[in-house]
Chains A and B, each alone.
Chain A
């Protein structure tokens, strides 16, 4: 089954890319944005039918490689 992981920067970590994207959008006329934070998205097809087991595997992946827990948080979403 497919499981997705969303990696986001923690609140107090500077995100210069997000800031620049914000400025660009602002310049394009999207003026009602208060903040943009850039993150990563992974779609993982796990050979596992039990959703809880599949999510547990992806959680381990996030902790061990996909996210750096010093600066990032992760959220796991069951997509299929």
Chain B
């Protein structure tokens, strides 16, 4: 299975993602933001970081970079595109997934482990996962998911909510919402479910001695789903 990780100026989770993808069997290529064409890929990942120094709005400049035209075409033709953290911010700025990510409600950069609950397993990312609650890591300043009332209704009607912030037992309540996101939303899909944007970093949970194994569970399942 072939994957591509896009590196923008200011990306800093691109190598972690490369390590994670390779560990679970992907043949991964790093792709520079100024390239014109994506290599042949089964999965494209927009990694975390601070692309273009978070100028203007997080993800806004990266969403207009050269390679993104190819990424948008790839997504529109049904290709799997996953945006993590800054990658999620880039996805909302391209319009591939609805909504926007605002500054965290309490103006703090949040760096900690969180639990997320899967809402929808009818997609290539979560199909066949034998867990509904995963422990991932978040590290962001602008992760406060916001969308209009009409958009919220639409994403609910189309089952586009991918994951919610919750507690260890899977309870989705205000007190487990780290950043003020509407309805505790931590990640969403596009309508077709081939594009996934989420704030948590599964690539930081692939080694028991460093963090945890829920990222390993996610990536192992993902590559099996794509095969």
Contact = CB atoms under 8 A, between A and B. Distances in A.
Interface in B78-105: 93, 98-100, 102-105
A70 B107 contact: no
A42 to B, nearest CB: 10
Interface residues of B, number: 20
Given A16-B105, A16-B106, A20-B107, A70 B147 contact: yes
Contact of A70 (B106, B144, B148, B180): B148
B88 to A, nearest CB: 14
A71 B93 CA distance: 12
Contacts of B60: 65, 68
Contacts of B147: 70
Contacts of B98: 70
Mostly helix, strand, loop or mixed at chain B's interface? loop
Contacts of A16: 103-107
Contact of B180 (A14, A68, A71): A14
Nearest to A9: B102
Contacts of A17: 103, 107
Contact of B64 (A13, A65, A70): A65
Contacts, number: 33
A68 B151 CA distance: 15
Contact of A14 (B93, B105, B151): B105
A13 B146 contact: yes
A17 B144 CA distance: 14
B210 interface: no
Contact of B57 (A14, A20, A68): A68
Interface string A23-62: 0000000000000000000000000000000000000000
Contacts of A13: 102, 146
Interface in A3-18: 13-14, 16-17
Interface of A: 13-14, 16-17, 20, 65-66, 68, 70-71
Given A14-B105, A14-B146, A65-B64, 11 more contacts: A13-B102, A14-B180, A17-B107, A65-B56, A68-B57, A68-B60, A68-B100, A70-B98, A70-B100, A70-B147, A70-B148
9 contacts: A13-B102, A13-B146, A14-B102, A14-B146, A20-B107, A65-B56, A68-B60, A70-B146, A71-B102
